[in-house]
Structure 1
Amino acid sequence: MSKRIIVTGGSGKAGQFIIAHLLHQNYSILNLDLHPLPAPLAARVHTLRVDLTDTGQVHSAMHSHFALTEPFRDPLHQVPTAVIHLAGYARNMIVPDNETYRGNVLAFYNVLEAACQMGIRKILLASSICVYGVAFAEGDVDYPAFPVDESVPAQPMDVYAISKVCGEQTAAGFAKRYPETDVYVYRFGAMVSPEEFQERFTGYVERPGEWKVHGWAYTDARDLGLMVERGLMVDGLGFQVFNAVNDEMTNFESSTEAFLARVCPGVPVTRELIGREAPVSNRKLREVLGFVQRVRWQDEYLN
């Protein structure tokens, strides 16, 4: 089976972890980004500089060789196994709001259109748990219910999360038009890399009441690659949305239900929360894609 993957935005934090994992699994990768990959990844993955808001550039890039050699050795017209779309503005206030919307929404559309028209059968898309409308709300807003699973409505008011919802709905439309293509959306939590770990979790642990904005959940960058790999391996699901977070809440409270009853007393609980299960639930990711986390934050934090 072909293992050729196009990654957009692979030069970013999430992309570097995902690319490193997939290289270890013997995938060939082409990175579409405005910025180069750092060493040592740059020695193994070619980065093609692409403006993903330009339809022509995206379509052309999708048909590119994966490596620059003299002469070219990989034949043209090989349809990649999958596209992993990570590129875009990663939060609010990097650029003005209208540019956040324009850039993110156009990139979603162009990548989906090019991949579907090329006949690529697997498209994985990066979204965010910000779509639930709490992280960048104007003021203090509660989640509609706990656990926050994929059935909880996405109701954001900030432009970053609105752009992600637009991308998700665009993806759902393309999946209907191209039913032979699987389109999986990953709603990532706050991304924590190893060098950020102690500082981030000191805040989570010492001031747990402050972190409703993150849903008392997180995504360990070291588990990203496996989350994505599971999506590459499981076929035939059509359009799906997954909360791509780790298993347990981000503090030492002994019971998630008791903790939530104290900090969010007015929010309904729709099913039993088991032990210290994260309030933003990854149950679907585990049960449908078979994800098993490799890193427990408590083990890292206490060492």
Structure 2
Amino acid sequence: MDSVLVTGGAGGVGAWTVDALADAGREVVAVDREAPPTEERRDGVDYVAADLTDYGETRQVVDAAAPDAVVHLAAIPHPKDHAGSRVFTNNVESAYNVFDAAGAAGARIVWASSESCYGTVFAADDWLPDRLPIDEETPTQPEDPYGLSKVVGEEVAAAAARRHGVPAVSLRLSWVTFPGDERRREARETFDPATAAPSGNCWSYVDVRDVVAAVEAAIDPETAVDGHEAVLIVAAENFLGRDTAATIEAVRGELPAECDLDGDESIFDCSKAKRLLGWEPGHSWRDGAERGAERDDG
């Protein structure tokens, strides 16, 4: 694997991914709506500005880079700050354009899907699945434009894999956290089950360094998937340090009829990622990552 094109390269996850791939000696092309100022550019990385909702621009950028893999991280990341139609349209159009261009170039496809595809995070009502833990076989039931855009994006990735004969991996990420980000600590220290609002993902998260590791595993030619696969990428435990099932029941007043959770383990089962990609979470809020930033989440 020599060359990788990363969309959303100026974002939080994107910047970490660009740095890691460049550190590994890969040729990296970082694409975003605007190229960063010259003084902020990393040596050895090519920066390109493009509107990924424009198919012509997207195809030109991908064709010019001729990458071995495309990592698609660009998206409007939630439905709160934009009109729902804008979130859905932006995310789906850019996914189609990037995946079709990548497939035509014969590049492996990896992209950031989301736990929101299950309907968890932005559901209008007090949502719980029929069973816990959640895995890739759990039905996707989004109610919001962001989660819906991820479900459609996975179908677009699968279509590109079929049409072009390239592997495509949808990484279903939980809430991505960064070293130095104290939101987990603040939430943990102020948490009271009697007054806490229900958490759509039941206090799950994933460290950005584990996201990068999953991206690296998914683009590795030695970790080939057949067609399209969706895999959950989530930390092993919740960030509260509390028993997960007991906390859900205390906050929501009920549990699913089928609930098989042990201690503070996450509600998401990542065993498929281990089986297909050899990936397991390596970072926890307990390892002291909240005591000092290596990079902010930009």
Question: Smaller-chain TM-score range?
Answer: 0.7 to 0.9
Q: Secondary structure at the match of 1:130?
A: helix
Aligned residue in 2 for 1:70: none
Q: Secondary structure at the match of 1:249?
A: coil
Moved more, 36-45 or 180-189: 36-45
**1:261-301 residue CA offsets vs partner (Å, 9 max, x unmatched):** 5445241336x434432112222222321113332211227
Match for 1:280 among 247, 251, 268? 268
Q: Contact 2:179/2:289 (CA < 8 Å) preserved in 1?
A: no
Q: Which amino acid aligns with 1:199?
A: R
Aligned residue in 1 for 2:296: none
Task: Flag structure 2 segments of 5+ consecutive residues without an equivalent.
Answer: 292-298
Aligned residue in 1 for 2:74: 87
Match for 2:186 among 202, 217, 238? 202
Aligned residue in 2 for 1:167: 153
Matches within 5 A, 1:1-303: 2-37=1-36, 41-65=41-65, 79-120=66-107, 122-178=108-164, 180-196=165-181, 198-204=182-188, 206-207=190-191, 209-210=196-197, 212-233=199-220, 234-253=223-242, 255-263=243-251, 265-269=254-258, 272-300=260-288
Q: Secondary structure at the match of 2:172?
A: strand
Percent identity at matched positions?
28
Q: Aligned in 2, Cα 1:302/1:49: closer, same or farther, shift over 3 Å?
A: closer
Q: CA deviation at 1:236?
A: 3.2
- TM-score scaled by structure 2? 0.87
**1:73-96 residue CA offsets vs partner (Å, 9 max, x unmatched):** xxxxxx421000011111113322
**1:64-111 residue CA offsets vs partner (Å, 9 max, x unmatched):** 25xxxxxxxxxxxxx421000011111113322211111111101111
Distance 1:222 1:205 in 2: 24
Q: Secondary structure at the match of 2:239?
A: coil
Q: Aligned in 2, Cα 1:205/1:146: closer, same or farther, shift over 3 Å?
A: farther
Q: Which amino acid aligns with 2:219?
A: L
Q: Aligned in 2, Cα 1:37/1:277: closer, same or farther, shift over 3 Å?
A: farther
Q: Contact 2:5/2:30 (CA < 8 Å) preserved in 1?
A: yes
Q: Size of the alignment, in residue pairs?
A: 284
Distance 2:14 2:172 in 1: 15
Q: Secondary structure at the match of 1:214?
A: coil
Q: Which amino acid aligns with 1:286?
A: K
Task: Flag structure 1 segments of 5+ consecutive residues without an equivalent.
Answer: 66-78
Moved more, 90-99 or 226-235: 90-99
Q: Which amino acid aligns with 1:108?
A: A
Q: Secondary structure at the match of 2:258?
A: coil
Q: Which amino acid aligns with 1:44?
A: G
Q: CA deviation at 1:157?
A: 0.8
Distance 2:269 2:171 in 1: 13
Distance 2:235 2:156 in 1: 27
Q: Which amino acid aligns with 1:228?
A: V
Q: Which amino acid aligns with 2:174?
A: G
Q: CA deviation at 1:213?
A: 1.5
Q: Contact 1:133/1:143 (CA < 8 Å) preserved in 2?
A: no
Distance 1:302 1:97 in 2: 33
Q: Secondary structure at the match of 2:180?
A: helix
Q: Secondary structure at the match of 1:213?
A: coil
Q: Contact 2:177/2:205 (CA < 8 Å) preserved in 1?
A: yes
Q: CA deviation at 1:147?
A: 0.4
Q: Contact 1:146/1:267 (CA < 8 Å) preserved in 2?
A: yes
Q: Contact 2:130/2:258 (CA < 8 Å) preserved in 1?
A: no
Q: Aligned in 2, Cα 1:288/1:296: closer, same or farther, shift over 3 Å?
A: same
Q: Aligned in 2, Cα 1:154/1:229: closer, same or farther, shift over 3 Å?
A: same
- TM-score scaled by structure 1? 0.86
Q: Which amino acid aligns with 2:16?
A: F
Q: Which amino acid aligns with 1:190?
A: W
